[in-house]
């Protein structure tokens, strides 16, 4: 029998689904921005060489998000035009829900969904699974590669090499910083700024929102005039949409 899920229950059962999966995962969500817990679980499944299909439907993937996805050898990413469905499946269960696989939605939104367990609702599970396969078939698989390039001159021994995504790639990318550039002139994305300061990205987004530097608009963040006064800038790319960059030396609110 299908089980009703609220926001917290959807998050719980989604994480449990990924953890318990042993054969396959299908993650369908118009918007994508993985939280740290989901990233850890998917990285673990990738190490186990499990087949993972991710289908999204909005051209708003952040550069660091697409770069991270492409480091996972067994994750196949596809774009589905006009996608609005949110559905997550393993070989054991399926979740059909209003919740995007998007960190903000999991923390802030009021969501609903149902859990379908194959053991108890095999016919209903089969219908959801077949529709998920249809969405995969009509999707365009994203063929991006991530290759390592030599470290810049003067890089410290042991420093992680730069990752470069082949076309289509965001332009300009805030993560590409010249080692000779003065520290106070460098610009980084909000997520990079959070990592630089050792705090969870969702906490930094919350702090910036409370300070009035950014505002929530649908599934995206917008830069306010106050944020602009702090050095924030909006970058735009046709492939990834708008994203905000900040001075790397920004004093956090």
pLDDT for the residue numbered 51? 92
**CA–CA distance, 168 with 151 (Å, rounded to integer):** 22
pLDDT for the residue numbered 228? 87
Closest of 6, 25, 9 to residue 87, by C-alpha: 25
Q: Give the side-chain half-sphere CA count within 13 A for 172.
A: 12
CA distances, 107 to each of 18, 65, 113, 177, 234 (Å): 18, 18, 15, 32, 24
Question: pLDDT tens digit string along 96-121?
Answer: 999 998 876 677 789 999 999 999 99
Closest of 59, 23, 74, 15 to residue 41, by C-alpha: 15
Please report the domains of the chain, with CATH numbers, ordered by start residue: 3-141 (3.30.870.10), 171-247 (no CATH)
pLDDT for the residue numbered 195? 87
pLDDT for the residue numbered 221? 81
Q: How does DSSP classify residue 158?
A: T
Backbone phi, psi, residue 96, to 5°: -110, 125
| Ramachandran region, residue 82 (left: φ > 0; alpha: ψ -120 to 50; beta: rest) | left
**CA–CA distance, 154 with 143 (Å, rounded to integer):** 33
Backbone phi, psi, residue 145, to 5°: -120, 150
Give me the tens of pLDDT residue by residue for the chain, a chain 253 residues long. 899 999 999 999 999 999 999 999 999 999 888 888 999 999 999 999 999 999 999 866 777 787 888 889 899 999 998 999 999 999 999 999 999 988 766 777 899 999 999 999 999 999 999 999 999 999 988 765 444 334 444 444 434 333 343 333 333 333 333 333 334 447 888 888 888 899 888 889 889 999 999 988 766 788 888 888 888 888 865 545 677 889 988 889 8
Asked whether the beta carbons of 103 and 35 are under 8 A apart, the reply is yes
């Amino acid at each position: 029998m299908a089980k009703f899920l609220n926001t917290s229950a959807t998050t719980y059962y989604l994480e449990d689904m990924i953890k318990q999966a042993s054969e396959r995962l299908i993650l369908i969500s118009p918007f994508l921005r993985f939280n740290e817990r989901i990233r850890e679980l998917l990285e673990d499944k990738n190490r186990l060489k499990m087949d993972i299909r991710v289908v999204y439907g909005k051209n708003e993937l952040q550069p660091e998000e697409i770069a991270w996805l492409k480091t996972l050898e067994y994750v196949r990413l596809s774009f589905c035009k006009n996608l609005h469905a949110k559905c997550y499946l393993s070989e054991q269960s399926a979740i059909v829900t209003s919740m995007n696989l998007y960190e903000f939605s999991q923390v802030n939104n009021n969501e609903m969904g149902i859990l379908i367990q194959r053991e108890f609702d095999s016919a209903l599970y089969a219908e959801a699974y077949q529709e998920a396969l249809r969405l995969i078939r009509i999707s365009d698989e994203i063929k991006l590669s991530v290759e390592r390039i030599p470290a810049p001159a003067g890089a410290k021994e042991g420093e992680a090499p730069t990752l470069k995504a082949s076309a289509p790639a965001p332009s300009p990318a805030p993560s590409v910083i010249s080692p000779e550039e003065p520290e106070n002139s460098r610009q980084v994305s909000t997520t990079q700024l959070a990592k630089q300061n050792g705090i969870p990205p969702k906490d930094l987004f919350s702090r910036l929102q409370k300070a009035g530097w950014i505002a929530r608009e649908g599934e995206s963040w917008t830069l306010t005039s106050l944020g602009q006064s702090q050095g924030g800038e909006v970058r735009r790319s046709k492939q990834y949409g708008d994203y905000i960059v900040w001075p790397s030396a920004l004093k956090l609110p």
